[in-house]
Amino acid sequence: MTAATPRVSPVTLDRVSVSIGGRPILRDVDLAVRAGEMVTLLGPNGSGKSTLVRTVTGLLPHTRGEVRLFGTLLGEFAEWQRLGFVPQRSTATTGVPSTVREVVASGRVGRRRLFRPTSGEDRRAVEAALEVVGLAGRSSYGVSQLSGGQQQRVLIARALAGEPDLLVLDEPTAGVDLPNQQALADALASLKARGATILLVAHEIGPMMPLIDRSVVMRDGRVAYDGPPLSQEVASHTHHAHDHPDHLDHAGTHDHAPHVASPLDFERRRR
Ligand SMILES: Nc1ncnc2c1ncn2[C@@H]1O[C@H](COP(=O)(O)OP(=O)(O)O)[C@@H](O)[C@H]1O
Ligand SMILES: [Mg+2]
């Protein structure tokens, strides 16, 4: 299926809670990312952004509520080739050493027919993705020879190579210099122009700002804001919003419960 197929929301969370080791991490999260939208997920460290995207991508079980991908409950979802995911930390070096090209090409696996050799189209997608992250000249390097920032770019290229309908990125610009941030923004713009949906956890929005349709701010495992795009400066004010709660909660759909501070909230904000 292509990105042009019906306007079902690629991501829907309905009152989703996640606990890790009995500790509540996400609480009653409602979120819908509509087809073709680019949504940024903002919020302080430890507010639950990575937990949310790991839940959406099926890496972490939720304890309550419903998660749907393209309208299908997560447990029944099978079209994983439609999803691209760039995790927060590099995992590219674990296990057998691979070259940059191999890791990026692995992003095509979901697109290929079983037992068919790599097609010209596969090779073109891999080259284009390497070009975008500025690693075309290093495609035969071992991933372990690269710096942390370069390894992150390999993971971005792998996700782009899969030409996903839904791309989820967790802080992809950490350790990426401005020219490469611009290149990433260009790549996301062309994905978006094809109708792809993008959910981006980001600290530095930088050159991506014009692409953003909506911002969601997490605080203490809850959605504290869901509305028009916020700059990083404004979003970082939400760190201090405990003293001025009326800055937040414009969410409309998230007004079911007032925020109740618990000792866990303070423990969670240690960092
Ligand atoms: N695997 C885990 N085990 C225990 N606690 C976790 C785990 N993953 C995340 N947490 C906790 O959940 C909270 C939210 O973390 P996270 O989703 O990584 O936040 P963010 O991405 O917004 O910085 C933090 O308090 C963190 O310590
Ligand atoms: Mg995180």
Closest CA to ligand 1's atom 3: 20
Percent of the chain with pLDDT over 90: 40
Structural domain spans, the chain: 11-268
Which atom of ligand 1 sits closest to the CA of residue 43? Answer: 22
Q: How far apart are CA 238 and CA 128, in angstroms?
A: 38
Q: Is the pLDDT of residue 44 over 80?
A: yes
Closest CA to ligand 1's atom 1: 20
- Amino acid making up residue 89: R
Q: How far apart are CA 126 and CA 208, in angstroms?
A: 23
Q: Region 259-271: what's the mean pLDDT?
A: 37
Position 32 scores a pLDDT of 97
- Amino acid making up residue 191: L
Closest CA to ligand 1's atom 8: 51
The reply to whether ligand 1 has any atom less than 6 angstroms from the CB of 29 is no
User: Considering all CA atoms of the chain, what is the largest pairwise distance in Å, rounded to the nearest integer?
Assistant: 59
pLDDT-derived band of residue 179, with 50, 70 and 90 as boundaries?
Answer: confident
- Amino acid making up residue 104: V
The reply to whether ligand 1 has any atom less than 6 angstroms from the CB of 264 is no
* Residue carrying structure tokens 């303070």: 266
DSSP 8-state code for residue 119: P
| List of residues 6+ apart from 220 with CB closer than 8 A | 27, 47, 48, 259, 265, 268, 269
Tell me the residues surrounding ligand 2 (ion) with CB < 5 Å. 49-50, 88
| CA–centroid distance, residue 170 to ligand 2 (Å) | 7
Which CATH number applies to 11-268?
3.40.50.300
- The bound ligand whose nearest atom lies closest to the alpha carbon of 45 is 1
Position 223 scores a pLDDT of 97
Structure tokens given for 22: 């009995």
**Torsion of the alpha carbons at 83, 85, 91 and 97, rounded to the nearest 10:** 50
Position 232 scores a pLDDT of 64
Q: Which of 19, 29, 51, 268 to mutate to test the pocket of ligand 1 (most atoms within 8 A of CB)?
A: 51
Position 114 scores a pLDDT of 54
